[in-house]
A and B are shown apart, each in its own frame.
Chain A
Amino acid sequence: MVFLLQQMMLYAVPLMIVALAGVCAERSGVINLALEGIMIFGAFMGVVFVRMFQDGGWQQSQGQIIMILSLILSGICGILFSMLLAFSAINLKADQTIGGTALNMLAPAIVMFFIYMIVQQNTMGMSQGGAAGWFMIKPQTFGYPKGYSFGPIGDFFLNKVYLTSYICILIFVLVSVFLYKTKTGMRLRSCGENPQAADSLGINVYKMRYLGVGLSGFLAGVGGFTFAMTTANMTSNGDVAGYGFLALAVMIFGNWTPLNIAGGSILFGLFKCIAATYSTLDINGDGVFLLNELGVSPYVYRMLPYIITLIVLAFTSKSSRVPKAEGIPYDKGQR
């Protein structure tokens, strides 16, 4: 059970971070279809930074510091990359879906180009060791012997987890507080609902939208790094398995509110986890691999998250709370 929950977290954490990234942009009125591209870019830059730290002589014992520094740096790269979208969507008033699609095509192209230039193959990993060895929190991290157990609850929180799970919770709290409790956050949301009214009250809509897209870029970059570290063993190959798009689905699924998104991403994480581990999944610990014995094709489990999204969208479309000004370029001259 602990294993299942921890596996679920591996899938849910990057999804939640990136879906929250989507909220920041969409609540300010910009559709961020580029989440996938920013993730790919963030993951690549994360691996580059980890390699730089390793080549610069940092040791395995400093793993957590390397991780946090690389995470922040890939977030900053995410901001830089997302500014391409912000510029076309806000200043040039271009179609946001097309701008996002362009970034989704640009990111893998650039990343693959440079990976080939750096390592002459199509996957770039760490200079030495693996993600689990360098960044995973284990009993040894706290000075206990290998194989030490903290009990079921303690194991869930402290044994074989990545620090990013806690960073994710922190991000969730910060984004929720920012959007609903701070002046800037409320102003940002108003720009996604009625930018004309916001402008008439002296709010700089362009600035707010830049802020929203920038935040979104930071979080998507962090999410990309998290994906690379937790599910791809700190490698980058110009692909994040559609996580950016899935995060978009989670965001719509969660009706653009952080709490629902947290729930949605945990649900998605569960399905993703079942699809990946169904054949060795022992739910209640009696040695029977129930899902495997059902004889259902693994492809059904793999399809489930997408099918469920479609069904949920079909049923909730009437109560959908899309930010009203989403996708419409703000034009001061417009009434």
Chain B
Amino acid sequence: MPRKDPVTGKLKWYKSEGAVAVYSALISILIGMAVGAVIVIIVGLSKSNISSSGIVEGIKLVFLGVFSTGRDSAGQLVFGFNGVNMGNMLFRAVPLIMTGLSVAIAFKTGLFNIGAAGQYLMGTMGTLSVGLWLGWTGCPKAIAWLCAFLVGVLLGALWGAIPGIFKAFLNINEVITCIMTNWIAANLVTWWFDAHEMFKNSAEGGKVGYIIPLKNVGVVTPKLLMDKLFAGSQANGGFWIAVLIAIAMWIMMTKTTFGYELRACGANRHAAKYAGINDKKNIILSMAIAGALAAAGASLYFLSGNTEFYWSTYQKLPAEGFNGIPVALLAANHPIGVIFSGIFMSMLNISGIQLKYLTAYNEYIADIIIAVIVYLSAFSMLIKMMLSKRIKHDHGNVNAEPAVSAAPADDAEAPAEIVKKETKKGGQK
């Protein structure tokens, strides 16, 4: 790493590890969007029904979709502040931020939580059932809201703890147990709603297979200024709650003993155990927290009231669960960074929808961009190394540490970059 400030002993902010992480994330984003633009161009050239102006419009929407305000009377795309798009972006960012946090916290403990989809579904089940049930019994709306939220979160935590237990006591790779619990959850949730006719929305025609939205019983998240800022959009106070939870997670991970123990387990489980940390307890707790966070995403999403849940999910897992992975990776597993990467991913989704309605392209271009970003973040280490070499070179630091090699051989599961980072931090303490 670059030379430290001789006075304060700290790295200059623009050369610090965090800053390099931000640069590498920005580079990944730029490359991802460039790939999206290239696909738009290639497809546009090969399809006869897309003109060259159509290609330009496609590229504009890929980059600036969220600022699109539709087409004017002359048929040209108009850009400007679009309150509805902005608000919907923040609204859709809520589950992404929460599942992103879920993946990030597990990552910090050296676990790969790809079970967020199942945890999300369990949260959905708990929140919708309790919310509707308490709404019908006529209990105060605030208490019903709180109970619905907490039950959802609790179910998610329990569900997340299962892979944790398998990992802690039997040392079974959490990836495989997460995949299994995902599909079990998908069947379980479908079974639950299939068996309870009262939750099904049969009042409105054309809504076959949906659960009654929570707005029907009035158990909804208050708007908390969001309706003033972004009139006409779906945004509500859930966004502020998500931001608060992210900050709380950052404090937990960096400022408390518990967070330190979690990170120590992530850096090297065996070393942590040797240092007297209960690694089994920490692994289970970390997965339970991850599950709770993913489920909280579902709770906040469905407590907005307008969102409707299609209950027959046993053949398809919710995309929100997997989209938490790119959100966490893009933010380099930093809880505060997750807020921004969550908003960014949601912006890409909005751009995709604009593409679908305004051009001959479709919304899947946004998914391609996200996938490319994940692929690049897989070797973000390389980008980071190149960047820090660059900075070193610029400042002529000859005392630079040699680049740390990949993961230590005895700890296959811990992502290499975390190991590298954490051992250094541990050393400073």
Contact = CB atoms under 8 A, between A and B. Distances in A.
Name the residue among B112, B184, B329 with the largest chain A CB count within 10 angstroms. Answer: B184
B195 interface: yes
Interface string A300-335: 101100110110011001000000001111010110
A239 B175 CA distance: 20
Given A84-B375, A297-B195, A303-B184, A314 B407 contact: no
Nearest to A326: B412
A105 B377 contact: no
B258 interface: no
A94 interface: yes
- Chain A interface size, as a band, is 35 or more
A112 B361 CA distance: 12
A329 B406 contact: yes
Interface string A88-114: 100011110111011111101110110
A303 B407 contact: no
A105 B371 contact: yes
Interface residues of B, number: 56
Nearest to A115: B364
Contacts of A97: 112, 175
B316 interface: yes
Contact of A248 (B179, B190, B365): B179
Interface string B355-377: 00000001011011011101101
Contacts of A302: 187, 314
A328 B180 contact: no
Given A95-B378, A117-B362, A109 B179 contact: no
A97 B187 CA distance: 25
B31 interface: no
A241 B177 contact: no
B187 A109 contact: no
Contact of B47 (A33, A117, A329, A331): A117
Interface in B399-414: 405-407, 409, 412-413
B379 A94 contact: yes
Given A94-B381, A117-B47, A102 B367 contact: no
Interface string B174-202: 01110111011001101100110000000
A329 B322 CA distance: 24
Interface string B141-184: 00000000000000000000000001000111101110111011
Contacts of B183: 242, 303, 306
Contact of B194 (A109, A245, A299): A299
Contact of B314 (A93, A94, A98, A299): A299
Contacts of A113: 39, 362, 364-365, 367-368
Given A94-B382, A102-B371, A109-B371, A333 B187 contact: no
A252 interface: yes
A252 B409 contact: no
B381 A105 contact: no
A328 B47 CA distance: 43
A101 B179 CA distance: 12
A109 B374 CA distance: 13
Given A310-B180, A313-B176, A327-B413, A92 B371 contact: no
Given A106-B375, A109-B370, A328-B406, A241 B315 contact: yes
B100 interface: no
B114 A314 contact: no
A249 interface: yes
Contacts of B322: 101, 104-105
Interface of A: 33, 84, 88, 92-95, 97-99, 101-106, 108-110, 112-113, 116-117, 239, 241-242, 245, 248-249, 252, 297, 299-300, 302-303, 306-307, 309-310, 313-314, 317, 326-329, 331, 333-334
Interface of B: 39, 43, 47, 112, 114, 166, 170-173, 175-177, 179-181, 183-184, 187-188, 190-191, 194-195, 314-317, 322, 325-326, 329, 362, 364-365, 367-368, 370-372, 374-375, 377-379, 381-382, 405-407, 409, 412-413, 415-417
29 contacts: A84-B375, A88-B378, A94-B382, A98-B329, A98-B377, A98-B415, A101-B325, A103-B371, A104-B322, A105-B325, A105-B371, A105-B374, A109-B364, A113-B364, A113-B367, A116-B364, A117-B47, A242-B183, A248-B179, A249-B179, A252-B173, A297-B195, A313-B172, A313-B176, A314-B172, A317-B171, A328-B406, A328-B407, A328-B409
